[in-house]
Chains A and B, each alone.
Chain A
Amino acid sequence: MASSYRPVESWVVAEGILRRTLDAVRPIGRSGREAGAFWLGRREPTAHIYTVVLPHGIGVEEQRGRWTVAPEVFGVVTRWAKPRNLCLLGVVHTHLRGVPPVLSWSDRNLGVRFPDTLAAIIGNGGDDSDHLYWGWYVFEDGEYRSLVQDEVRERIRIDPAQQFEVWKADAIGIEQLGV
Chain B
Amino acid sequence: MSEQQMGVTGQSDTTAQHAADHPGVDREVIEVKVDYLPAPAPFVRKYRDETVVDTVRTDAMTFFGVKDFQDRNIHKFFLEFEGHILENTSQTLEQLLGPHRRSAHFNLIERVTQGRYPNGLELPTR
Contacts and interface: CB of A to CB of B under 8 A. Distances in A.
Interface of A: 1-3, 5, 34, 42-43, 63-66, 68, 71-72, 74-75, 77-79, 81-82, 87-89, 95-96, 98-100, 104-107, 109-110, 112-115, 117
Contacts of A3: 65
B71 to A, nearest CB: 6
**Chain B, interface residues (CB within 8 Å), range:** 35 or more
Question: Which 7 A-B pairs have CB atoms at the shortest separation, nearest pair first?
Answer: A2-B65, A65-B118, A99-B120, A114-B38, A43-B40, A71-B109, A75-B80
Looking at A66, A75, A78, A100, the one whose CB has the most chain B CB atoms below 10 A away is A75
Contacts of B126: 105
Interface string B7-46: 0000000000000000000000000000111111010000
Looking at B38, B65, B66, B72, the one whose CB has the most chain A CB atoms below 10 A away is B38
Given A1-B65, A105-B124, A110-B73, A78 B109 contact: yes
Nearest to A72: B85
Given A75-B83, A82-B42, A95 B119 contact: yes
Contacts of B37: 74, 77-78, 81-82, 87-88, 112
A90 B122 CA distance: 26
A74 B109 contact: yes
A103 to B, nearest CB: 9
B114 A106 contact: yes
A104 B71 CA distance: 15
B78 interface: yes
A68 B121 contact: no
A167 to B, nearest CB: 14
A106 B121 CA distance: 10
Contact of B64 (A1, A63, A66, A100): A1
Nearest to A76: B83
16 contacts: A3-B65, A43-B40, A65-B119, A71-B78, A71-B85, A71-B111, A72-B80, A74-B37, A77-B37, A82-B37, A87-B37, A88-B38, A104-B119, A106-B114, A114-B39, A115-B65
